[in-house]
Structure 1
């Protein structure tokens, strides 16, 4: 059953959407394949948060939706790429809470209706296509949608891109504290960095030295984005240069599949039966592989890979599906 952690009376309201704590599981075969000791590598299963297919956005949405309900919202409005995990889980949260959902997505209809988009429709969300814009540039389009809703008498709540705001990042400060209870000796948590809130929350709870972020290409300045969120959340300065952030897995851009990412997807699947996605967790795993290769992570250190979910996105990514199907056809 979804649970809600008690908070002080003056704290922001939190909606109960997920199931906590998520499991922390050993990954001995993957660890040995990377050159680590069998007990070195563990996987924090935030793909198993429950609602809507699971994923890290649920931790953020508990706070964001709680605030929306407290403000009397009737409709959630948010933005993202066509295969946005945040958009999919906002749609699921709206269904759970009895709120309408409008998703303002980059691009145009017709390219693909599979993966996360199919689930957006199943959850009853309305999609507004914003054309060839992305990230923060989607904000004005979402504002226009919200204004039209107000004119119709609705009360829209605008949720940030990726669910990443100081309020949303509270969810991952909580996750960091949850991890300390499960693995107090952890040395490094490896996470994908999209809109920045997940890493910012973890840094707030664990400190910048214990969090390794892998940039996925969703924002132009990942260090500045994470630094600003973490500083505002903690109330202390978190300098961009103090962050452990890998920038080497973006390739040609956010939606592109690279050979190291496909290799990482295959390795995780064939050693642990662990399914990753080609945009976020696949890049994070490729970053972990590179960190072991260059000595940033070594044997004898308790390393946690944060599985932030995203499985539906695999089925909306033609290049990743083609690569997986080609391996099947070849009998690899």
Structure 2
């Protein structure tokens, strides 16, 4: 993938959220080329790369039905010439759009695990991997969301890349899903400069990120820690944007999606980046993020997931219907 990903000014969005025009910048990890882009590619460079080095023939991973990580694992497998099996929570439906359609396009096989929790999903993944071994395949399991100490190394590197682009960085705001992206950034930037917005993907976001940061600090990656988590300042977390649950669309998130689109032409998704921007807006409102300081919003991708989220699409279509006219009226 090309490096570094762009760091773009967002002056109109800055004004809209209560910052000064020069304060807010967007780190465009959505523009990473593989499989539609997104933060999971940086993790897969390490996890899928290690699997290939081990002689694996098949990548097995898990996620929600509209998992960005699953989609990008399928793309990575296609690039590497490896089979991919995706174990997804839920059941097949008529509207298998968004990331699910791309999973099929990339050639992945999908195993539907039903409505299960984290532990049950992991058990299905283990059973699938064992069945594949029985058939003579050499599977390697990529963890949920790609978030392991190894995968988090991708965002240790990204944090260093960001510091080269913005040495005066005060705060980077990031969606907190399975935890690896935030953990890598905390390792390289320090906890005081990373604000994670919980998206509801894991039951205990603080413990999840702290565990990964602890692994990084324990010397499993190159370079010493910058602080944060178990060995440094407390993690900065916002837990106020989950709403009724992981897949639910809330008004603050819909407002964030609309604001980003109409000020900067930037498209976010309703599960991760939309929540992250809603968290940033709330953080400015309550003084956690202040004007006059460099703030970076990490765009972690996820656009295909928007097209798999029926409520968000319905809201977007209604906005078109409300303003549409037939020529020659205007």
Shift of 1:111: 5.2
2:46 matches 1:46? no
Alignment counterpart, residue 238 of structure 1, candidates 229, 239, 244: 229
Alignment of 1:1-332 (within 5 A): 18-110=1-93, 112-235=95-218, 238-239=229-230, 242-331=234-323
> Which whole-Å CA distance do the structure 1 matches of 2:119 and 2:8 have between them?
35
Give the equivalent residue in structure 2 for 1:3. none
Retained in 2: the 8 A contact 1:136–1:161? no
> Which whole-Å CA distance do the structure 2 matches of 1:89 and 1:222 have between them?
23
> Which whole-Å CA distance do the structure 1 matches of 2:171 and 2:136 have between them?
48
Q: Give CA-to-partner distance per residue, 1:147-198, whole Å, 9 cap, x none.
A: 1110111000100000000000000000000000000000000000000000
> Which whole-Å CA distance do the structure 2 matches of 1:86 and 1:134 have between them?
18
Aligned to 1:304, the other structure's residue is in SS state strand
Shift of 1:331: 1.4
Q: Give CA-to-partner distance per residue, 1:252-299, whole Å, 9 cap, x none.
A: 000000000000000000000000000000000000000000111111
Retained in 1: the 8 A contact 2:14–2:23? yes
Shift of 1:241: 7.7
Aligned to 1:218, the other structure's residue is in SS state coil
Give the equivalent residue in structure 2 for 1:15. none
Runs of 4+ in 1 over 4 A off after TM superposition: none
Retained in 2: the 8 A contact 1:135–1:218? no
Q: Give CA-to-partner distance per residue, 1:90-118, whole Å, 9 cap, x none.
A: 00000000000000000111153100000
Aligned residues: 315
> Which whole-Å CA distance do the structure 1 matches of 2:258 and 2:28 have between them?
18
Shift of 1:134: 3.7
Alignment RMSD: 1.3
Aligned to 1:220, the other structure's residue is in SS state coil
> Which whole-Å CA distance do the structure 2 matches of 1:137 and 1:306 have between them?
31
Q: Give CA-to-partner distance per residue, 1:239-261, whole Å, 9 cap, x none.
A: 39800000000000000000000
Retained in 1: the 8 A contact 2:191–2:233? no
Shift of 1:136: 4.2
Shift of 1:330: 0.8
> Which whole-Å CA distance do the structure 1 matches of 2:187 and 2:159 have between them?
8
Unaligned runs of 5+ in 1: 1-17
